[in-house]
Structures are given as structure tokens and as C-alpha cells.
Amino acid sequence: MSDTMNETHVALGGDTTISCTVNGQAVSVEVPVRTSLSDMLRSALELTGTHLGCEHGVCGACTIVLDGAAVRSCLMLAVQADGTEIRTIEGLATDGTWHPIQQAMHDHHGFQCAFCSPGFMMTAVAMLEDDPNRTEAEIREELGGNLCRCTGYESIIDGVLGAIAEMRDGDGGVA
């Protein structure tokens, strides 16, 4: 990996160069053309916080925010991400301060094994940036594309509700 002019360049012996912005950093990556976006993020950029649960687009563990939308990185080819702006779980906190969704998940015991947590939080971030005024039913619908096998979802929903309260009026919603 080499950094020049604020651009990180990674060569993985590939035949295609992809340029995009990842967590605010301009990157160009050489990968084999068949590389999935999730593999590019995990292998070439070493952003292993994006997890692979099913690799067929159902579990949502690999969800990232791409140009503002929640996207399954396992279903996208890296070449399709050329020119896009990507955010992953590693980019959520700023200067060591957690994003409200991270703080709220912590406050509400949101996750257990937490393998699914990056996908849930990135889905939630895209949803709340789109429209933070969400009812519990809407949150459940929006997060219905992410699987968690540990929690039964209640603590995750409470975490999202807590983040909404925090973002709205600085009240994390913890009783």
C-alpha cells in the first residue's frame, strides 16, 4: 500500500483499476475484474469490519453505505464501485468519538456476537440520514433485510430508537 497526494493505491495483481473514496480517503485499487466489492474492501483495503455472512445478498452483514444508499457489498462487483463514495463501519466514528448509532447500540446492549453489527449499523445510518423520523414499525421494516441470530432484534431496535432520540434532542433514550 502506498500513499501519495492523499490517495491510497493498492495493487492486488489485478487487471482493473478502481478509483473511489472510502471513508473520506481517495483510493485506487488494482484487482482482478471479477472481484466483489466486499472482497476488495476486506482484502485490498484491509477493512475487515465489513463481514460476509451469506455472500448471496440475504443476510446483510456486508452492508455498506455507497453514495448515500445502503448496499450489499457482496452483491456488487468492485468495478461497479468505480467513482463512488463509500462508507464502512470503520468510518463511522470521527476522531475517536462514536457515531450516535454506535453509542446507542452500546447503551442498549444492541449486539451479542456482533458479527452482523456493521451491516445493521450501516443500514441504520443510511436510513436515518435519509429520514430520521422513523417509527418502530418503519425501523423494523428497513432493518428487515439484515439478519441477526443472537438478539431477537429488540435491543437493536431500541438502539436505533435511542440513536434517533440522541440525534433529535441529545437524549439517548436510556431510561
Partner 1 sequence: MSPDGNQGSGLGAFTGTSVKRVEDHRLLVGEGRYVADVVPDGCLHAAFVRSPFPHARITGIDTADAKRLPGVVTVVTGAEIEALTNPILPFLALPGLYTPLYHCLSSERVRFVGDPVAIVVASSRAIAEDAVELVDVTYEPLPGIGTLDAALDTASEPIWPKAKGNLLYDHTNDHGDVDAVFADADHVFTETFRCPRQSNQPMETRGILVEFSADGEITVRAATQAPHMLRWQLAAYARKESAAQAVKAFATNTERRTAFVDAAKSFFAERGEALQASDNTAMQTQMKTDPRTALQMMRTGAQLLGRDDYPHVTADDIGGGFGAKGSVAREEIAVAAVAFALGRSVSWIEDRMENLMDGGQAREEEMTLSIACDADGTIRGLDVDLVLDQGAYPGNPIGAPITVRIMEVMQPGAYRFEAFRQRSRIVTTNKGKYVAYRGPWANETWARERMVNVVARRLGISQTEIRRKNMYGDEDFPATMLTGPSLDVTCSVRKTLERAEELADLPGLDALRADAAARGKRLGIGFASYHEAAPGPPDYWESVNPGTSALLDQPATASVDTDGKIKIWTSQMPHGQSHETTYAQLAADQLGVGIDDIELVYGHTSRAPFDLLGTGGSRGGPVGGGAVRKVGRGLRAAVVAKAADMLEANVDDISIVDGNIHVAGVPARGLGYADLAARVVADGETVEGKDGTYAFNVEDTYTSAGDGGWSVATHVCWVEVDIETGLVDIPRYLVVEDCGPIINPAIVDGQARGGVAQGIGAVLYERAAYDDDANLQASTYMDYLIPTATEVPRIEVEHMETLSPGENDHRGVGEGGMIGAPAAITNAIEDALDVTVNEQYLPPTRILELAGVIEPD
24, 74, 95 from 45: Cα distances, Å: 13, 15, 20
Does 55 contact partner 1 by CB under 8 A? yes
| Residue numbers 120-159 binding partner 1 by CB under 8 A | 121, 139-141, 143-157
Restricting to residues 24-43, which ones interact with partner 1 according to CB under 8 A?
Answer: 32, 34, 42-43
Nearer to partner 1 by C-beta: 64 or 81? 64
In DSSP notation, the chain reads -EEETTEEEEE-S-SEEEEEEETTEEEEEEE-TT-BHHHIIIIIS--TTS--S-SSSSS-TTEEEETTEEEETTSSBGGGGTT-EEE-GGGSSBTTBPPHHHHHHHHTT--SS-SSHHHHHHHHHHHHHH-S---HHHHHHHGGGS--SSS-SHHHHHHHHHHHHHHHHS-----
Residues 73-102: x where in contact with partner 1 by CB under 8 A, - otherwise, as a string: ---------------xxx-xx----x---x
**CB nearer partner 1, residue 34 or residue 168:** 34
* Min separation Cβ 21 and partner 1, Å: 17
Q: Please report how close the Cβ of residue 5 comes to partner 1 at its closest, in angstroms.
A: 26
Closest separation in Å from C-beta 49 to partner 1: 2
Q: Out of 52, 75, 77, 79, which residue is the one contacting partner 1 (CB under 8 A)?
A: 52
Rounded Cα distance, 166 and 162, in Å: 6
User: Which window, 3-11, 114-122, 124-132, 161-169, contacts partner 1 (CB under 8 A)?
Assistant: 114-122
Q: Which residues bind partner 1 (CB under 8 A)?
A: 32, 34, 42-43, 47-56, 58-59, 61, 88-90, 92-93, 98, 102, 105-107, 109-118, 121, 139-141, 143-157
